[in-house]
Chain A
Amino acid sequence: MILDARGSFCPGPLMELIRGIKQAKVGEELEVWSSDQGSKKDIPFWIQKAGHQLLGVVEEQGYARFIVKKLK
């Protein structure tokens, strides 16, 4: 599942991710795209706190892709 939250401001991309995680199945991988610099801190923090797995952060031109696996 790809959640394109580019152009959205903190905490918008994180809220999109949480919405996506709620809909996803355990073990499913999701990707959230964010152009907000704050996401680099609050998305990894939330993933750890919520007990999911951050598979990677890929820097693109003007945004970053956060790849997450739903663990529970």
Chain B
Amino acid sequence: MADRLSLVVFSGTVDKLYPVAIMASGGVALGKDVEIFVTFYGLEAFRKGNPQKNMKMDVNYPEVGPMMMKVMMAKKMPSWYDMLVQAKEMGNIKVHACATTYDLMDMKKEDLDPIVDDVIGVTEFLSRASEGGITLFL
């Protein structure tokens, strides 16, 4: 059985992208292979240029979201993207763009951030995820 951590990243807000980077780092720390499937708003977050300029927080938490963002900046917390890049350098992390969203948005490979490895369909992702381990939806 594969020792794998599979993440479906549907969300594109920074508050959800942090757990993506942190979970992926934890997976690498435990020697797991990490598969990240980015879809819908999650794929937008990986559009070239967006990892550096995306400051969106979940609008459902107006009383804490902006405050948390300020605290993270004041404490110089690295961005979710830098954390993910670092984890990817250290372990086996693959970032897959969802083919459906990619086609729907008429995207080309050059529209995506270079951290994205390839474009795959849901069946390929699910078949990889079902080979073993943990699967999370974020």
Chain A, residues 1-25, CB within 8 Å of chain B (1/0): the string is 0000001111110110011000000
Tell me, in angstroms, the Cα distance from A42 to B25 when the chains sit together.
12
Distance of A66 from chain B, by nearest CB (Å): 14
A15 with B30: in contact, given A7-B76, A9-B77, A9-B78 (CB under 8 Å)? no
Partner of B22, one of A7, A10, A46: A10
Distance of B106 from chain A, by nearest CB (Å): 37
Chain B, residues 29-73, CB within 8 Å of chain A (1/0): the string is 111000000000000000000000000000000000000000000
The residues of B that contact A7 with a CB separation of less than 8 Å are 76
A18 with B78: in contact, given A10-B22, A11-B22 (CB under 8 Å)? no
Q: Which residues of A contact B (CB under 8 A)?
A: 7-12, 14-15, 18-19, 42, 46, 49-50
Beyond contacts A10-B22, A12-B83, A42-B29: 11 other A-B pairs, Cβ-Cβ < 8 A, are A9-B77, A9-B78, A11-B25, A11-B26, A11-B29, A14-B25, A18-B28, A18-B90, A19-B90, A46-B30, A49-B30
Q: Which residues of B contact A (CB under 8 A)?
A: 22, 25-26, 28-31, 75-78, 83, 86-87, 90
Can you sample 9 A-B contacts with CB below 8 Å? A9-B77, A11-B22, A11-B26, A15-B25, A15-B29, A15-B87, A18-B90, A46-B29, A46-B30
